[in-house]
């Protein structure tokens, strides 16, 4: 009888703990969950089950590693929010799988990303011809971002004060060009730029103090 009582008591309690964990991690689409989030979530879920199934052990003893994991996840989420380099290490970077209508075979091999995977995601976007694709980026979440030749697409050239060299390469530009253009617009300090995107030869610039400008 005591065993069933402990189950009835511990199950809703651990449910609340896990619910609090998900609230602390912020609002995310399931497709945007990082490998780090998945790993910590699985560990917390496993620890919660062990705590529920072992009425002999103290519930607070079971909570200790869960609380530690929640703290670790919270700290790492703050670090990745403030540092793009940390974000790249934890979550990875987008990979260019199609460039100017041609597959980047080396990148696809390195990722273990097959043509079947590529065509499956292209078909989901009603695209059957790779030659019509200007660029396709495989995001760290596995989502495929596709830009066709006919599209007017915006590329972030600076994020959190960091130059996006891969995006500069996509538009056949370099850092020297970017710095010269920013100087013309009166934005010489790249580290003060929150986001700088480039669309149809126009810059959208938002500074870290949230003052936005379109040039």
Higher-pLDDT residue of 162, 29: 162
Q: By the 8 A CB rule, do 100 and 134 touch?
A: yes
Give burial (CB, 10 Å; 0-12/13-18/19+) of 98. Answer: buried
pLDDT at residue 190 above 70? Answer: yes
CATH superfamily ID and name for 93-148? bsu07140 like domains (3.30.240.20)
**Residue 213: per-residue pLDDT:** 47
**Residue 186: per-residue pLDDT:** 84
Predicted TM-score (pTM) of the model is 0.59
φ/ψ of 58, rounded to 5, equals: -70, 135
pLDDT at residue 17 above 70? Answer: yes
Residues carrying CATH 3.30.240.20, the chain: 93-148, 155-214
Higher-pLDDT residue of 151, 67: 67
Higher-pLDDT residue of 24, 94: 94
139-156 pLDDT, tens digit per residue, is 888 889 898 876 666 778
Token couple for 136: 């396709």
For 170, residues 6+ apart whose C-beta sits below 8 A from its C-beta are 96, 99, 135, 155
- Residue appearing with tokens 């793009």: 84
Token couple for 18: 């896990």
Q: Strand order of the sheet with strand 202-207?
A: 162-163, 155-159, 193-199, 202-207, 212-214
CATH superfamily ID and name for 155-214? bsu07140 like domains (3.30.240.20)
94-133 pLDDT, tens digit per residue, is 888 998 889 999 999 999 999 999 999 999 999 989 988 9
């Amino acid at each position: 009888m005591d065993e069933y009582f402990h189950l009835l008591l511990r199950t809703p309690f651990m449910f609340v703990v896990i619910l609090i964990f998900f609230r602390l991690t912020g609002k995310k689409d399931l497709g945007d969950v990082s490998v780090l989030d998945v790993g910590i979530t699985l560990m917390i879920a496993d620890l919660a089950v062990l705590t529920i199934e072992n009425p002999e052990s103290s519930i607070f003893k079971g909570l200790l590693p869960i609380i530690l994991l929640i703290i670790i996840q919270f700290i790492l989420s703050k670090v990745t929010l403030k540092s793009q380099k940390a974000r790249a290490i934890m979550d990875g970077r987008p990979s260019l799988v199609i460039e100017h209508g041609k597959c980047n075979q080396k990148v696809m091999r390195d990722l273990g990303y097959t043509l079947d995977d590529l065509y499956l995601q292209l078909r989901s976007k009603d695209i059957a011809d790779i030659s019509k694709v200007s660029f396709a980026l495989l995001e760290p979440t596995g989502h495929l971002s596709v830009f066709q030749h006919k599209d007017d697409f915006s590329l972030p050239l600076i994020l959190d004060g960091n130059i996006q060299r891969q995006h500069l390469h996509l538009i056949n530009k370099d850092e020297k060009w970017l710095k010269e253009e920013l100087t013309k617009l009166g934005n010489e300090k790249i580290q003060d730029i929150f986001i700088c995107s480039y669309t149809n030869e126009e810059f959208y610039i938002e500074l870290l103090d949230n003052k936005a400008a379109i040039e």
